[in-house]
């Protein structure tokens, strides 16, 4: 693990602004965020036998849903927050669904090159600073198999504003601003995704604009972030 990531991990474990996993799940239900997850999983079109990674899985709602909708997929959720991961593990256990949860940061994924068919991300990208966003997209590109794809859902988007009530109450404005306009697509291109696109967006009073992005790793032409020959730990 790099020194920067270690520092971040230390800072994250003391993050006071993060809601408790229980509060997060209550807000999640209240705002009906499950419907956003369902749409993301449908867009990702996960098939039997595929390996799926969710980065920033929090309390595991999306990762568990993927496994519920596609029992033949192998699902891994990754997050730096141990409390959320513990809750996620209990949730999967109660549902009798096998999902693996790992502790780690999206900008330093502990997985080998070309080891996942799909990478999913929901309501997580706006938590990252500009360098973390770059690092995360490079890592996602690295761990995706040729023909694999990233499906990302977050506040903002090309025609977005800086988030609805919920987003503004709970997040720093400069991080939300980073998600506006073309910036997410530009970062995806920079990371080596050939033709990333905004697939859809929805706007509500509570959440502001929420956008679905898709980026394919089909070109076989990794970007500058491709760490040739550098294997991560075996998942
Ligand atoms: C708003 S929650 C979303 C959780 C889940 N994806 C969902 O849709 O319910 C954002 C999550 O991103 C995680 N996160 C923040 N920084 C991260 C990083 N650098 N790498 C991976 N996850 C991160 C947080 O710990 C938190 O669990």
Segment 2-11, tens digit of pLDDT: 555 555 555 5
pLDDT at 9: 54
DSSP assignments along 139-199, one per residue: HHHHHEEEEEEEEEEEE-BTT--S--HHHHHHS-HHHHHTTBTTHHHHHHHHTT-SS-EEE
pLDDT at 227: 40
Q: pLDDT at residue 204 above 60?
A: yes
User: Best mutation site among 12, 61, 79 for ligand 1, i.e. most ligand atoms within 8 A of its Cβ?
Assistant: 79
Closest-CA residue, ligand 1 atom 27, reads: 58
Look up residue 59 and give its two tokens: 């309390």
pLDDT at 226: 41
Segment 73-94, tens digit of pLDDT: 999 999 999 999 999 999 999 9
Segment 31-73, tens digit of pLDDT: 889 999 999 999 999 999 999 999 999 999 999 999 999 999 9
Ordered domains of the chain (ranges, CATH) = 17-216 (3.40.50.150)
Closest-CA residue, ligand 1 atom 8, reads: 122
Q: Is 57 in the pocket of ligand 1 (CB under 6 A)?
A: yes
- Counting from 1 in the atom list of ligand 1, the atom nearest the Cα of 84 is 27
Q: pLDDT at residue 158 above 70?
A: no
Q: Are strands 74-79 and 51-55 parallel, antiparallel or unpaired?
A: parallel
Q: pLDDT at residue 155 above 60?
A: yes
Instruction: Tell me the longest C-alpha to C-alpha distance in the chain.
Output: 47
């Amino acid at each position: 693990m790099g020194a920067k990531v270690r520092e971040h991990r230390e800072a994250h474990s003391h993050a006071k602004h993060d809601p408790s996993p229980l509060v997060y799940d209550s807000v999640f239900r209240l705002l009906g965020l499950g419907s956003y997850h369902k749409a993301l999983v449908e867009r990702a079109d996960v098939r039997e036998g595929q390996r799926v990674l969710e980065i920033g899985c929090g309390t595991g709602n999306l990762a568990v849903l993927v496994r519920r909708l596609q029992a033949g997929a192998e699902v891994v959720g990754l997050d730096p927050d141990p409390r959320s991961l513990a809750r996620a593990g209990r949730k999967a256990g109660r549902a009798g669904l096998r999902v693996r949860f790992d502790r780690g940061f999206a900008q330093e994924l502990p997985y080998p090159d070309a080891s996942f068919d799909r990478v999913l991300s929901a309501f997580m990208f706006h938590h990252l600073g500009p360098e973390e966003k770059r690092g995360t997209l490079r890592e996602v590109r690295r761990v995706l198999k040729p023909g694999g794809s990233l499906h990302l859902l977050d506040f903002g988007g090309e025609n977005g504003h800086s988030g609805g009530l919920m987003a503004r109450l709970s997040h720093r404005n400069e991080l939300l601003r980073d998600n506006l306009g073309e910036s997410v697509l530009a970062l995806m291109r920079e990371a080596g995704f050939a033709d990333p696109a905004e697939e859809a967006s929805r706007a509500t009073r509570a959440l502001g604009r929420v956008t679905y992005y898709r980026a394919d790793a089909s070109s076989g032409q990794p970007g500058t972030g491709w760490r040739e020959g550098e294997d991560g730990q075996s998942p």
